[in-house]
């Protein structure tokens, strides 16, 4: 999530930046923000020192309530300082609901550009803020440890550390997820069949799309890795497919196992708690990986695709559905707010890297499509659900965690809308003994 842009400074007049009330070399907190924003504030800002800036009639506002909030803002790089101050209750937002702060974040993203002031002015800013606020302080308890300290839980993407990362994000509360995700309990990008479709219709359509792409028919065997609450497994089982899912979340596994039994699908559907790398059965007709690759680690893609290919029969199909970057150049590591509060150890790269690594282990790529706009719509609807159930959500998981989710989902929606991130479905097949892909139709066989 990005809430502002940065650019080199344009020289700013000291008199203009300080305003009429500042004393020599001393700025109020509002004046500091005004300097850093180059006087272009899209909202109203007030601070505990009594200062304020920005349009008095602005639709949105930020209220800095405590000195601790100043420390968070001054020491957190990028969006991390904003997130810490907001989640801890030291920074309030106005004009939007905390379950969906999308419009405020959009205003910041579109209009707020931080500048780097001249050296002498920067010295005055540091003096005004106070040296005591430039020393890092303990973050809110909802924050995961920095990556260098996570080594105690194992090497990155070891089985133990992956289990810790999954627990941090997915074992929040099944009840909380039911309110946010809705009846489908599907925590991946939906596919909207039309503009006015509901979230439930879009999630059902997504499972239909995956099912058709994998050419599943009654009696086939499906392996769904990172299966979440078992949505794909149950969809396939209701259509006569023998489906096995695996998840590293204990709460997801328990919910899925109970629901499978309640729906009378136990003869065809199974969800196991465990690591996908512990799956020993082979010969599956199809493998689906929906929202798992983000947790694998880019360096592990070759071994990941090689393992999934080894679970397939010759001619079997593999569909990978995951968040990607719009290019293949940026470093894959997630940073700031997302890494500390949402997906510890998460990594994203471009679809080109994914396709290359899949091809290099022998898979044949059949089709790729980008569902970026669909994910923005999915996040819009998840935020609407959180707003509707806000009071219950706060009671269930606490105000700070509920605020994390509103901030994360609204910020991610902006990322998809602005093409900062994408969602790709890549369909592949394991070639047969002679290197051929088998008897696939000449053209796409699924309904878009």
Tell whether the model's pLDDT for residue 167 goes beyond 60.
Answer: no
Q: What is the largest CA-CA distance in the chain?
A: 81
Strand partners, 242: 221
Domain-located, residue 113: yes
247 and 383 part of one domain? yes
Tell whether the model's pLDDT for residue 11 goes beyond 50.
Answer: no
| Mean pLDDT, rounded, of the chain | 89
Mean pLDDT comparison of 3-12, 151-160, 274-283, 343-352, highest-scoring range:
274-283
CATH number for the domain harbouring residue 329: 3.40.50.150
Tell whether the model's pLDDT for residue 111 goes beyond 60.
Answer: yes
Structural domain count, the chain: 2
Tell whether the model's pLDDT for residue 101 goes beyond 50.
Answer: yes
Tell whether the model's pLDDT for residue 346 goes beyond 90.
Answer: no
pTM of the full structure: 0.90
Closest CA to 376 of 184, 171, 202: 202
pLDDT average, residue stretch 256-261: 98
Domain-located, residue 146: no
46 and 186 part of one domain? no
Domain-located, residue 232: yes
130 and 164 part of one domain? no
164 and 124 part of one domain? no
The pLDDT, as a whole number, for residue 131 is 87
274 and 352 part of one domain? yes
The pLDDT, as a whole number, for residue 20 is 41
Domain-located, residue 447: no
The pLDDT, as a whole number, for residue 6 is 43
186 and 120 part of one domain? no
Query: Which of the pair, 339 or 359, is modelled with greater confidence?
Result: 359
128 and 277 part of one domain? no
Encode pLDDT of 353-398 as tens digits: 999 999 999 999 999 999 999 999 999 999 999 999 999 999 999 9
130 and 175 part of one domain? no
Task: Name the residue range of residue 235's domain.
Answer: 159-429
263 and 307 part of one domain? yes
130 and 171 part of one domain? no
173 and 125 part of one domain? no
127 and 191 part of one domain? no
Cα 107 from Cα 41, distance rounded (Å) = 9
Tell whether the model's pLDDT for residue 168 goes beyond 70.
Answer: no
Per DSSP, 134 falls in state G
Residue in this structure with the two tokens 């439930």, named with its chain if needed? 200
Cα 297 from Cα 166, distance rounded (Å) = 13
């Amino acid at each position: 999530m990005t809430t502002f842009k940065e650019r080199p400074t344009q020289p700013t007049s000291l008199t203009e930046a300080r305003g009429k009330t500042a004393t020599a070399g001393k700025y109020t907190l509002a004046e500091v923000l005004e300097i850093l924003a180059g006087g272009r504030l899209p909202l109203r800002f007030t601070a505990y020192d009594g200062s304020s800036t920005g349009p008095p009639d602005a639709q949105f506002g930020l209220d800095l309530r405590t000195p601790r909030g100043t420390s968070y803002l001054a020491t957190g790089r990028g969006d991390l300082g904003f997130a810490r101050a907001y989640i801890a209750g030291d920074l309030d937002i106005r004009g939007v609901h905390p379950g969906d702060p999308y419009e405020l974040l959009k205003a910041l993203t579109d209009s707020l550009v931080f500048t780097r002031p001249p050296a002498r002015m920067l010295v005055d800013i540091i003096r005004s803020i106070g040296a005591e606020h430039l020393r890092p302080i303990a973050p809110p308890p909802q924050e995961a440890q920095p990556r260098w300290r996570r080594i105690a839980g194992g090497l990155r993407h070891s089985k133990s550390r992956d289990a810790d990362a999954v627990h941090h994000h997915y074992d929040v509360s099944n009840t909380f997820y039911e309110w946010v995700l809705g009846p489908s309990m599907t925590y991946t990008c939906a596919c909207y069949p039309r503009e006015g479709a509901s979230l439930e219709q879009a999630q059902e359509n997504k499972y239909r799309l995956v099912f058709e792409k994998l050419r599943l028919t009654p009696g086939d065997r499906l392996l769904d890795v990172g299966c979440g609450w078992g949505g794909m497994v149950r969809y396939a089982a209701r259509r006569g497919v023998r489906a096995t899912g695996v998840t590293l979340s204990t709460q997801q596994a328990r919910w899925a196992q109970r629901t499978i039994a309640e729906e009378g699908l136990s003869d065809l559907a199974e969800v196991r708690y465990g690591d996908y790398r512990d799956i020993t059965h082979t010969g599956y007709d199809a493998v689906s990986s929906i929202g798992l690759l983000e947790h694998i680690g880019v360096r592990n893609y070759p071994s990941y695709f090689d393992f999934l290919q080894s679970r397939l029969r010759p001619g079997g199909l593999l569909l990978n559905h995951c968040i990607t970057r719009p290019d293949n150049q940026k470093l894959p590591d997630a940073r700031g707010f997302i890494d500390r509060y949402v997906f510890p150890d998460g990594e994203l790269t471009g679809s080109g890297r994914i396709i290359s690594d899949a091809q290099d282990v022998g898979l044949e790529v059949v089709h790729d499509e980008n569902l970026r706009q669909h994910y923005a719509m999915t996040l819009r609807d998840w935020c609407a659900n959180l707003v509707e159930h806000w009071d219950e959500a706060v009671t269930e998981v606490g105000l700070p965690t509920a605020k994390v989710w509103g901030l994360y989902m609204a910020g991610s929606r902006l990322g998809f809308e602005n093409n900062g991130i994408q969602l790709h479905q890549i369909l592949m097949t394991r070639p047969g003994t002679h290197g051929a892909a088998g008897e696939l139709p000449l053209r796409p066989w699924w309904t878009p």
